[in-house]
Amino acid sequence: MLKKHKNLSPPLTLLVEVMTNSTIKMMKINSIANLNQETLALTKRLFLQLIRRPSTLFAGILQPLIWLILFGALFSNAPEGLLPGGMNYGTFLGAGVIVFTAFSGALNAGLPVMFDREFGFLNRLLVAPLESRNSIIFSSIIYITSISILQSLAIMFTASFLGYGWPGIGGLFVVVITLLILVFAVTALSLGLAFALPGHIELIAVIFVVNLPLLFASTALAPISFMPSWLGWLAAVNPLTFAIEPIRAAYSGPLNLANVLIQAPYGDLNGYGCLSVLIGLTIGLFILISPLLNRKLS
């Protein structure tokens, strides 16, 4: 900047410098405002779609509630003390259902993007001078995260209503943090799929195939100690398990993340370990998928 004005007198150079710095600053503020504006507008669109087509939201809340009520009832007369820590089955299941709900909600994050690709709406966004095309991604993440949290809270209220307990304040904090990490990871995955797969049929197929097996091969419905060793292995490497166990711990009385939460075939893992694995997974997925998103979006 300064070189250009070499032949100006020193005070003038200073003035020029101050002015260019402040314009740069203003441009930065401006571009943050732009980013805000476009991200908000895109998020608003997603929420309008949701409000006007609320059936997916209701189904997303109803389905886990049915799980909770029916499955919870299924084992309600099982002998006491069967589950680790003498938990009743409803409480045990609650954590699984919360995680599963957030997980399947986030897995669907790619669908609206896929439809936008198919109907040419994405082109409308791509010819616009967006400050950053990441705002398309941000809006999806904001949308899915709020929905997942909303759905999970609905389930937690119902669970407590059914007498399955309520995590304390600290517990609630752990629940929300855990869910957020999981939702980020799965949303990234789903958006990546939405750009990598040829159409919504394929995306729905993948969602369909991934969803239930991941549930059954996790500790959502039963502890590892109930499983044959091959399934125990699967459950012990299943990302859902790493989210379920801290939440379950939050429900089972005084929370201490240093306690061993997973007795996996490969060794014991405490709460911090679980969360670290989840965070690592999320970062890994973002690193893996962002080149794909950038390529498709530029």
Partner 1 sequence: MHVIDTQELVKSYGPVKALKGLNLQIPKGCLYGLLGPNGAGKTTTLRILCTLLAPDSGKVLIAGINALQDPRSVRKEIGYVAQEVAIDKILSGRELLQLQADLYHLNNLEKEDRINKLIARLQMSEWIDRRCGTYSGGMKRKLDLAAGLIHKPKVLILDEPTVGLDIESRSSIWQLIKELRDQGTTILISSHYLEEIEFLSDRMAIIDDGRVIAEGSPEHLKQELGGDRVTLKVREFSSQDESEKVKQLVQSVEGVRQVVVNKSQGYSLNLVIEKEEVLNRLRNKVLEAEYQVFTLTQSRPSLDDVYLQATGRTLMDAELAVSTQRDLKKESKQSMR
Applying CB under 8 A, the residues found at the interface with partner 1 are 33-34, 37-38, 40-42, 44-45, 48-49, 52-53, 117-131, 198-199, 296-297
Nearest alpha carbon to residue 184 among 251, 245, 106: 106
State in angstroms the smallest separation of the CB of 139 from partner 1: 11
Q: How far is the CB of 129 from partner 1 (least distance, A)?
A: 4
Smallest gap from Cβ 49 to partner 1, in A, equals: 5
Q: Rounded to the nearest whole angstrom, what is the least distance from the CB of residue 53 to partner 1 in the complex?
A: 7
Closer by beta carbon to partner 1, 60 or else 171: 60
Q: Which is nearer to partner 1, 6 or 52 (CB)?
A: 52
Cα angle 200-116-293, degrees, rounded to a multiple of 5: 85
Q: Which is nearer to partner 1, 60 or 64 (CB)?
A: 60
Q: CB-wise, 57 or 180, nearer to partner 1?
A: 57
In this complex, which beta carbon is closest to partner 1, that of residue 127 or of residue 169? 127
Q: How far is the CB of 130 from partner 1 (least distance, A)?
A: 7
CA triple 81-238-158, angle to 5 deg: 55
Helices vs. strands in the chain: H and E counts, helices first? 12, 2
Taking the CB of residue 108, how many other CB atoms lie within 10 A of it?
19
CB of residue 298 vs partner 1: minimum separation in angstroms?
9
- Least distance to partner 1, CB of residue 195, Å: 8
Which of 34, 263 has the CB closer to partner 1? 34
103 or 138, CB closer to partner 1? 138
